[in-house]
Amino acid sequence: MRTPMIAGNWKMYKTAREAAEVLRALRALVEGATNVDVCVCPPYTALLAAVEAAKGSRIQVGAQDCHWEKEGAFTGEVSVPMLADLGVGCVIVGHSERRQHFGETDATVDKKIGAVLAHGLSCIGCLGETLQEREAGQTLAVLERQVKGGFARHLSAPRLVIAYEPVWAIGTGKTATPTQAEEAHAFLRQLVGQLAGPAVAGSIRILYGGSVKPDNIAALMAQPNLDGALVGGASLDPNSFAKIVKFRG
Ligand code: PEP
C-alpha cells in the first residue's frame, strides 16, 4: 500500500520567523492526520527555523533544490550534506520553475536526484509538460523523455517520489481534471514498470501538482494512480494546507 504524501512548496515566500509561526500552527492542525506523510519546503533561509518548529511533530521539512556536489567552488549553491546537517529530510528536484528560469535540465535533475538519494534523504522529482506541448499532443512523449533523462537510474530507490506537475497548471488556478491527471499518472506508472519492473511500479509514489486546493484535492485523490500532492500557493496558509492534508475529511 502506498502511503499518501502531501508536500508544500513555499517557493520564495516567508522569512524564518514567519516559517516558524506557520509550522507551529500547522503541527497542531495535522497532528491527527495519520497515514499521510506531510512535508513542507520553505526557502533555504527558513529551513533551520522550520526544522526547530517542526521537531517532535509528524511534519518533515524539505528543501526546494540542491547542488549535486558535496562541496566546491559553486557560489550561491547549497549541497545535500549541508541540508542534512540542518535536519532537512527531503529535497524537491527539477521543479518547472527551476527548469524554466534557472536552466535545470534532465541531466542536472539526474545528478541532483542521485545526490539526494546517496545522502539518505527523500527526493521529490518533478516533471510535466508545458501548455504548448499539451496542445501539440506531446504530453506523454515529454513525460517519457523526462523520466528516461532524469529519473531512470534512480527508480528503484524507495525514497524517490515523482511529482507530475503540468506547467500550465502551476500557479495559474487551472487544475488538471482528475481524468487528465490520472491519464498522466497511469502512463508514468506503466513506464516505471517497463524501466524498473512491476514491484517498483506498484510501490513508487506519484504526486500531482498544479493549483491543488482544499476544494479539489478529494476528487484528485480518488484517482487510483494519484498518491498525494505537491502544493504551492495553498500551502502558505496553515489552515488551507491542513485541509488538503486531511483530504479524507
Ligand atoms: C508548485 O509550486 O509545485 C505548485 C504546484 O504550485 P501551485 O499549487 O501554486 O500551482
One pLDDT digit (tens) per residue for the chain, 249 residues: 899 999 999 999 999 999 999 999 999 999 989 899 999 999 999 999 999 999 999 999 999 999 999 999 999 999 999 999 999 999 999 999 999 999 999 999 999 999 999 999 999 999 999 999 999 999 999 999 999 999 999 999 999 999 999 999 998 988 899 999 999 999 999 999 999 999 999 999 999 999 999 999 999 999 999 999 999 999 999 999 999 999 988
Beta bridge partners of 67: 79
- What are the DSSP E strand ranges found in 47-132? 59-63, 90-93, 122-127
Catalytic residues: 95, 165
Q: What is the pLDDT of residue 229?
A: 98
Rounded to the nearest angstrom, the distance between the alpha carbon of 160 and the centre of ligand 1 is 19
- What are the DSSP E strand ranges found in the chain? 5-9, 37-41, 59-63, 90-93, 122-127, 160-164, 205-209, 228-231
Query: Is ligand 1 within 6 A of the CB of residue 60?
Result: no
Rounded to the nearest angstrom, the distance between the alpha carbon of 69 and the centre of ligand 1 is 27
Which of 5, 6, 11, 99 to probe ligand 1 with, by most ligand atoms within 8 A of CB?
A: 11
Q: What is the pLDDT of residue 174?
A: 87
Nearest-angstrom CA–CA distance, 192 and 213:
28
Nearest-angstrom CA–CA distance, 19 and 114:
28
In the numeric block, the cell 516567508 is attached to 14
Q: What is the pLDDT of residue 167?
A: 96
- What are the DSSP E strand ranges found in 88-194? 90-93, 122-127, 160-164
**Closest ligand 1 atom, CA of 233?**
9
Which of 104, 124, 165, 243 to probe ligand 1 with, by most ligand atoms within 8 A of CB?
A: 165
Dihedral angle sign, alpha carbons of residues 6, 243, 63, 35: negative
Give the chain's end-to-end CA distance (angstroms, integer): 20
Q: What is the pLDDT of residue 1?
A: 83
Q: Of all protein residues, whose CA lies closest to atom 2 belonging to ligand 1?
A: 232
Q: Of all protein residues, whose CA lies closest to atom 6 belonging to ligand 1?
A: 232
Task: Give the pTM.
Answer: 0.98
Query: Is ligand 1 within 6 A of the CB of residue 211?
Result: yes
Q: What is the pLDDT of residue 249?
A: 82
Query: Is ligand 1 within 6 A of the CB of residue 233?
Result: yes
Q: Of all protein residues, whose CA lies closest to atom 3 belonging to ligand 1?
A: 232
Q: Of all protein residues, whose CA lies closest to atom 1 belonging to ligand 1?
A: 232
